[in-house]
Every structure is written in C-alpha cells, then in structure tokens.
Structure 1
Amino acid sequence: MIGFVLPLLFVLFWSCKAATYDGKLRNASDGTMEAYMIPHFKSSHASFIEPSPNGDLVMAWFSGSAEGESDVAIVVSRLPNGTDQWTSPIVVSQRKGYSNQNPVLFFDNQTNILYLFHTQQDAKKVGDTGLNGEDSATIWELQSTNNGMNWTSPKIMFAKAGSFDRNRIVISLKNTWLYPIYYAGGSRKDTSYIKESVSHKPFDTWLEHSFTDSDHLVQPTVVRPVKNSTRLVSFFRDRRAEHIYRAVSLTDGVTWTKPSKTTLPNNNSGIEATTLQSGHIAIVYNPTNKERNPIVISVSMDEGLTWAHTRPLDHETGFNGIELSYPTVFQDSQGRIHISYTYNRETIKHKILPNEAWISQRHD
C-alpha cells in the first residue's frame, strides 16, 4: 500500500503546483507578488523581462521538450499595464533541426523598436549530451513595433559559431548599444566580449571589445552604478563553479580591468545584476557552488566589492532536484523590483519585490 501512496502523493503535489501555472499575479506570504507563467511546452528555461514605454511588461524564454532538442522555441508573453494576468505565450522563433536558447529583450528608445535577440544551435543528435552543440551557436534577431504583440521573422545576426548572449544591453554615454556576449568554446576556453552597435541597426557593423583575461568567465551582466559616468561594472558566471567574478571599465565598456573574485559563490549557472534607483547594485544568483537551489538577491553599496544585504527569494525543499535558476532583474519607475527565473524547468516564476528595503528586512 505504501508503494502506491507515495507515488500518488507525488502526483498530487505536482498537480497542485501545476494548477497555479496560470500566469496570474498573487500576493505571497513574504510581502511580494508572484506568478507562475503558463507553460507552452513541457520544459521552460532562461527567461528575460523588459518593460515597454506604455507600462506593459514583455517576457521571453525558451520552451520545448528539453534543452537542446529540435523543438525548442522562443516564446513571448505580455503583462498588460494595470493588469495582474500574463497572456498565454506565443511562439516567435522555432526552426526544425535547431534548438533555441537565451532570449534577450531590448527596447530601443531611439527607434521605438522592441528587439529580441536569441541564440540558436544545432539540435542534439542521438547519444549526444547536448553540450557540443554550443560550438555551433549563432545569434538571431526579431523586432516588434507594438510592444511584443507581433514579431518579424527571425534573421541571423551574428553568424560566428559559438556566439552566445544572456544578459541586458546597456546604452553607452555616446548613445551606442553595449551588448554583452561570450563565445562558447566546447573544447576551447570560453571568453566574454562587448559588442557595440553605433548605428542602432542590428545588421550594420558591430565593434568588439574584449574582457581582459576572461577565460572560463561567461554571461557578463553589465551595470552603470552612477548616471552619466563612464564607469561600468560587469559580473560573470564562472565555468569552474567557484565564484562570481567582477571587472570594471573606466572607458564606457571599451577596456576592462582583469576580472577578480567576489565574495559571492557561483555554481556555473546564470546571474543578473541591475543598478537600483538608490545607486546600489542588486544581483540575483544561486548562493552555492553546486545546486541551483535556493535563489537569492544581494545588494551592494560599493559597486560589488562587498554585499551588505542578502535575502532568499525562493527555496524549495521536500523533493531533490528542483531547479531555481537563470534570473533576470530590473527595477521599475515605482521602485518595485521585478525578477523572473526558471522554476524546476516546468515554468517561469515572476516575483515582484515591493522596494529595495524589502531585501534588508528581517525575515524568518
């Protein structure tokens, strides 16, 4: 009888969880709001949120049967301004024989175009682990002129094999795009770069600025701590699963210091940082060297040298293997902090913190 009851309880547990995957924002017990996105396919991962000028939020992620498979698509959902309901996701990029990953959304105020960039690699072959496919990755581009409701067909933008993105584009003081990317090496060492677009046209020439000594450091997340300053700070995922690394540019992203270890651990999983209205830096990450659980937010008042406050965002217990990973984060004009992250590869979770002060509040 016990052998029958335990599987049944497991099914009931996940059925209850699945019942909340409706895209509706609800108040949570910790003083935040949260929503579990409506899954389009079986697996969901690597979300990205971008605000639109009209107040809508647009979210993209990749979804399919499993990461690396031929059916993995980029999907997009919207949270219309003033509502608490995310729309059902739509497929905007899918290509047979290839697997899509890592959408990056970017609204360009100069052209009033919402861009979606994402990677695309050869799909897994029989017996393949999926890791070798990163060597073949290229970066593709789509556009929307109506806040993510409709999209152009995807076009290849960076054809160099191994091209990968993950984190937010920053505008330079010269009004150019600074797009952090990395080249996945497979058997080679991964290295990170800044791609700079002077013209605001994705298919014009891009300048390329390398991060000094960035071997094994990928998915740079770049922030500008002080407005109108040429000083930028970048944080990196560590392929060796040791530490989050940090580098500084005094030249608005053209040259960088050698990356150095921060006090924050890294598990060879995605991170993202943002500059808050206070000028402090917030970063979302897994505070471990192994598991992708729990997920936390930390705040630094000295540009990432030390981290004054850390608060858990999510920590699932009871079943081994649950994943909370690959966050994106930004602060809206009302001071609320929006975070989204992978929830057990089943869906994406959107969490809204009421303000920065929430991070330093006492919690049990």
Structure 2
Amino acid sequence: YIDKEQTDPVGYSDGIARVTRGGSHNTPVKYLRSANRMAMLPEDKHTMTGFRVVQAEYPQTAPLSQPKDEYVVSQIKWDWNSQCVTEPVFAAPLVYVHEPDVHSGTPFFKHNHQPALTWCDNGDLLAVWFSTNEEKGREMVVLSSRLRAGSCEWEKPRMFYQIADRNLTGTALLNDRQGTLYHINGVEAAGHWQNLMMTLRTSTDNGQTWSKPRMIALEHTKRHQVIAGTSITKEGWFVQACDAGPGGRDGAAVHISKDKGKTWTDPWDGAPLPDFKEGRTGTTIAGIHAGVVQLKDGRLMALGRNNSIRDKEGRLRMPMSVSDDMGKTWHYSASEFPPIDGGQRLVLMRLNEGPILLISFTEHPYRTPKEERGMMFTNQSGKPFKGYGMYAA
C-alpha cells in the first residue's frame, strides 16, 4: 500500500506477484497476522497454499498505476575491440555491495551473499546478490548494482527481484552474446533453501527492464538451488548448475536447455547420493557450488566444494566430475587442486581465447591444517615459491 489514506484499496494494476495471506503448519506467527501481506507468482502452487472463500461486493476502486522508474541505462553498443588489452592487468578489488541511500526505499540487511555477475552489451557490468538477515529467512530480497562502462565505482544497490516473504536463494546471470540477458533464480515455498522452484527472466535492453518471471522447474524440491556460472555449450545448449540439496556435502546437479531457456531438464535418474571416491561413478556432481564447463571433446567437467577426494598420496583434493553423456553420468576423481570449504567458492569458465580458467583458494583460513596450507607457484624468473590465498590457473 502507498503511504497515503485510501478507501477500499486494491493495489496496483500490474506486477509480477499476487498478494497472499495466512500460512500453514509451522508458519511463524508474524506471517499469520491479518495485516501481513505475502506474495506468490500466479502460476506457483505448493503445499503451503490454501484457499478461503469470501462473499462480498467487488471493490469499485481503480487500481494504482506503477510509478515510473527514472533509472536509465545506456543502449549504445560498446566497442569491445577498442578496449582490447594484451598485457596482464592487476587492480585492487572494487566493492560492489554498498548501503543504499537512506530514502531510497531499498531494503538492505546484514547478510549479503551468493553473487552473480555478467557483462552487458553496452559495456556495463551487472552484479546481483541476495540480502537477508538469515540465509533461511523469508525477508530475503535480490539486489543489483551496476558498474557502468568507464566508471571505477559500483552504483548504490537497487531492488532486482522480490517475492514478498519467500526465500530467494540462488541466482545466476547469463549474456547469450545475441543481445539477451538471462536471470535464473530460486523461489522457496516459504523459508529455507531446500524446497525451491526455478524461475527465468530475460532482458533485451542491458538489464534496464526484465520480462515477467517464468517458472522453468515447477516443483518445490531439492536440486533447484541455482549457482552462478551458467554456460553455453558448442551446441548452443544452456547449462545451469544447482546444488543437489541443502547440505554442505549433497553434491550438485545440472539443468540443461536445448532451446535457449524455453524448456529445461535435469538428466538425473533419481538415484541416491553416490559414493564420491576415486574411480567411482554416479548421477550427481561431487561437491556443492560447482562450476561446470564443456571440454573440447564435448564432455562436461565440474569442480566443486566439499566431497573432497583423496589422491594417490592420500591428500584431500578438490573433487572433479566428468560426464560423457551430457550430465546423466559422472566419473569422479581427485583433481590437482586443494579443496575449499565454507565461505569460499570457485569460478570455472572457458575464456574467449579458448583456455579454461579456474579461480580458487590455496586453503581455508580456519579448516585447513597448517602443514597443508599454501601452493607452489613459479615466478617470472622461473623460481618456485609457496603462495597463499586466491589464485588463478
């Protein structure tokens, strides 16, 4: 409702979600208040939804029009060739999470996490993440920030995606290189992150406006926790990684679209979680928060967090999963890289120039034994040295 006196208000004429009230078994009291207004996508359905029949005169009040968004994004196509740099570039990190202006109306909570980032055709970078007090909380919103072409500072956050009182864990962004941005997001039945369904939106104006969300994985269930890093295979298929469960060692799933995001399938056969050991096979990727790339021979390769596998020397290594049937079956082995743990994520992607890039960490600051910390590197003069922290390979 607007902050003005109204009689028989009926809300806005348009929006992505519908108002709901009430709840179900184990719903916290604050959401059961008659004054509370939750929301659901009109096409959504799950066990938390009930109905109450009311007989009354239909309101004659006219709905409100959505206020005009004055936010403007450049639609001039960026000349990437003019900015081509062949030498390595090193720069200090640019923080993208800033507190919003006090009077902006943008909600901002203490826990800002699980980012996704992509480039826009106009040269901007677009970052999104969830903001919440608790990771399982229903107050969660997805915010965005933009680093405009030529700028050295990320903008203050704006509301990017919200379905009131529904947990929204899991976000991914993709530029298909054909003028369209894709946004994939999980939507919970209530709180937590284990009964998510998946939605998709698109933008053809560099993220200034977005289509209404469309449900692409309808069931509120596991294997739907979206992970950033959506990729496109040489066949033109979209590959979206998702955590296979809410736990830290539940592995990861892939959802594949062969028609540019219209329909999606999870090739999983329903088998229980496999034994993630050297030489074994299964139908779930080893490790959560997985990165997935296609190899030159068409196979899929994934690296993940936890579910670590011991190598021939008995050292725990980051697990590697390889599939030669587009995600139906995965073959497990120990990679050459050290494992990562809570608070850390890897990046796995294929560069424009062809090589595969991994960005990860040499150790966990609290959980890696001191004698196992660090990795051996080679400096410009060819001498080996031991390094610590984030690395690229």
What's the counterpart of residue 158 of structure 1? Answer: 217
CA 1:66 to 1:290, structure 2 compared with 1: closer, same or farther past 3 Å?
A: same
Q: CA deviation at 1:252?
A: 5.5
Indicate which of 253, 261, 267 corresponds to 1:193.
253
What's the counterpart of residue 264 of structure 1? Answer: 338
Q: CA deviation at 1:77?
A: 1.4
The aligned amino acid for 1:138 is M
The answer to whether the 8 A contact 2:267-2:327 is kept is no
Q: CA deviation at 1:116?
A: 0.9
SS for the counterpart of 1:270 is coil
TM-score by length of 1: 0.61
TM-score by length of 2: 0.57
Provide Cα deviations, 1:58-96, integer angstroms capped at 9, x if missing partner. Answer: 111111333222221111111111221222221121122
Structure 1 unpaired stretches of 5+ = 1-29, 125-132, 301-307, 314-357
What's the counterpart of residue 175 of structure 1? Answer: 236
Q: 2:197 & 2:375 partners in 1: Cα distance? A: 32
Alignment of 1:236-255 (within 5 A): 236-238=304-306, 243-250=317-324, 253=327, 255=329
Q: 2:209 & 2:230 partners in 1: Cα distance? A: 22
What's the counterpart of residue 141 of structure 1? Answer: 200
Q: Does 1:232 align with 2:292?
A: no
Q: 2:246 & 2:301 partners in 1: Cα distance? A: 24
Provide Cα deviations, 1:105-161, integer angstroms capped at 9, x if missing partner. Answer: 011234x2211112222454xxxxxxxx23212222222221122223333321231
What's the counterpart of residue 40 of structure 2? Answer: none
Q: Does 1:96 align with 2:168?
A: no
The aligned amino acid for 1:284 is S
Aligned residue pairs total 266
Structure 2 unpaired stretches of 5+ = 1-88, 101-107, 270-280, 310-315, 378-384
Q: 2:299 & 2:285 partners in 1: Cα distance? A: 23
The answer to whether the 8 A contact 1:56-1:80 is kept is yes
Q: Which of these two proteins has the greater Rg computed from alpha carbons? A: 2
Instruction: Tell me the C-alpha RMSD between the 2 structures.
Output: 3.8
The answer to whether the 8 A contact 1:214-1:259 is kept is no
The answer to whether the 8 A contact 1:310-1:359 is kept is no
SS for the counterpart of 1:208 is coil
Q: CA deviation at 1:222?
A: 1.1
Q: Does 1:288 align with 2:364?
A: yes
Which deviates the most, 146-155 or 277-286? 277-286
What's the counterpart of residue 81 of structure 1? Answer: 149
The answer to whether the 8 A contact 1:225-1:281 is kept is no
CA 1:139 to 1:96, structure 2 compared with 1: closer, same or farther past 3 Å?
A: same
Higher relative contact order structure (alpha carbons within 8 Å, sequence separation ≥ 6): 1
CA 1:176 to 1:310, structure 2 compared with 1: closer, same or farther past 3 Å?
A: farther
Q: 1:98 & 1:61 partners in 2: Cα distance? A: 15
CA 1:216 to 1:275, structure 2 compared with 1: closer, same or farther past 3 Å?
A: closer
The answer to whether the 8 A contact 1:280-1:299 is kept is no
The aligned amino acid for 2:201 is L
Provide Cα deviations, 1:3-51, integer angstroms capped at 9, x if missing partner. Answer: xxxxxxxxxxxxxxxxxxxxxxxxxxx9523222213412211111111
Alignment of 1:274-353 (within 5 A): 274-276=349-351, 277=353, 279-285=355-361, 287-288=363-364, 290=366, 312-313=389-390
